[in-house]
Amino acid sequence: MGQSIKRGAITYEIESAWGENIGTTATLRLPVVGTVNTSGLRHPKIDPDRTTQRRNELTPWILGTMEGTFTTRLYLTGHGSSVQGAVSATGTETLLGYVFGNSAVSSSAGTTASGGTATAFTTAAANGFVAGAIGVLGIANDGRGNGQPFVVASHAANSLTSLVTMDAAPSGTDLVRSGTMVYNSESPTATTIQSLRFLLQTANLQYLCHGCVATGVAFSPFKAKQVPYIDVTWAVSWWEYKTSTFPSATATETFMPAPIAGGSVFMNTVGTTTRVKYAARDFTVDYKLGVELLEGPGGVSPYQTITGAVRTPDEISVSFVGDADAATLTPVLPGLGTGTNQQHILYGFSPTEQKQVSFYWPNVHTNDVGTQMQDGNINRLKYAGRAGTGTTTTSELTMSAQRMYFG
């Protein structure tokens, strides 16, 4: 008897060899949004097109190879627990690291700041925050860091220098919070992709999917009131039916997301730290994940053709809508389009600890000259650019074209 489509679970495990014939998926039960949809899994048959003697005579069809995809929707929840003390990646953050290439903590622990300047904080910890990482200073409405994100240029000798100036210098014991970073790889040889194994459970059939790799991502619109999420599309090398225990006893994460409110959008010329904040009325990130599936012999299943995958260049587009200028010969957003300078953009969604999400694009090439448009009943302008490799080449993190922070 068919049961409700509302009941289901997805668990996953990393593979030690592509598409290996192992049945465990105990790492994490994903906190997915919506139903478990298995309709994208296919095992098609091929019309043999044999010559026959009668008008409607048929011969058996050929069983083809397995193929298909499924999609997981995950809220961007922030870290879910305190990032003032020791910090380690959650299961969801680790999974997103497999999607984009890397995950790591900003610092093994947070610290406090007692002085310095709005760009160079005097910290209790002598060092610890890695170059290129995102952190958060203070709490909402403290008049200094205001619970907004910063980007680390360096941290040594009890001084943390940010690539983004804060509203004012820290004082007293302002919190300097760590968190987890998820970012893409930039090295030309960093093309390896970790394959995963997923168990898709419904109240009826269950599918164990082997040799899975993320081939596409889609972010929700990043605008006020929106609860942010990410859709990840997974390609499947081969799959089989299972009869595992349901409901699943594998642990899951139940962190609650925060809607986008009380955050900030910073944008300025690359290398310029001056805090320039934009009233972004709508913000969109279009991330085309560069992944090439490798097909050929040597698969574990007789119906498997995908035996690996490599990373190819991503295409990351960033755009937002801002209010139109008063009459002027030098409107700001169109001027970025006609100019030659690249921009760096830092977007903090919410100042709420444990629910914070931030994005940083260190090197955005403006690719459009916005002209005034009607947006609802308001005159507005659109900024659009392509995000590329960071200009500081000391590590994969400093080179990464997009960084996500969970704190």
Task: Output the CA–CA distances (angstroms, integers) from residue 230 to 106, 196, 250, 383, in the order listed.
Answer: 21, 18, 22, 22
For residues 312 and 297, what is the distance between their CA atoms, to the nearest angstrom?
A: 22
Residue 249 placed within a domain: yes
Q: Are residues 126 and 97 in the same domain?
A: no
Q: pLDDT under 70 in the chain at which residues?
A: none
Residue 222 placed within a domain: yes
Q: Are residues 27 and 154 in the same domain?
A: no
Domain assignment of residue 229, given as a range:
8-42+65-102+184-406
Give the pLDDT of residue 86.
86
Q: Are residues 295 and 344 in the same domain?
A: yes
Give the pLDDT of residue 234.
98
Q: Are residues 275 and 325 in the same domain?
A: yes
Q: Are residues 274 and 258 in the same domain?
A: yes
Q: Are residues 227 and 147 in the same domain?
A: no
251-268 pLDDT per residue, tens: 899 999 999 999 999 999
What is the b/e burial string over 94-124, where b = at least 16 CB atoms within 10 angstroms of the residue's CB? bbbbbbbbbbbbbbebbbbbeebebbbbbbe
263-285 pLDDT per residue, tens: 999 999 999 999 999 999 899 99
Q: What is the pTM of this model?
A: 0.95
Q: Are residues 168 and 223 in the same domain?
A: no
Give the pLDDT of residue 103.
96
Residue 1 placed within a domain: no
- By CB neighbour count within 10 A (0-12 exposed, 13-18 middle, 19+ buried), where does 58 fall? exposed
In this structure, what token pair is assigned to residue 117? Answer: 């300047």
For the chain, how many structural domains are there in total? Answer: 2
Contacts of 398 (CB under 8 A, 6+ apart): 131, 132, 362, 390, 392
Residue 50 placed within a domain: no
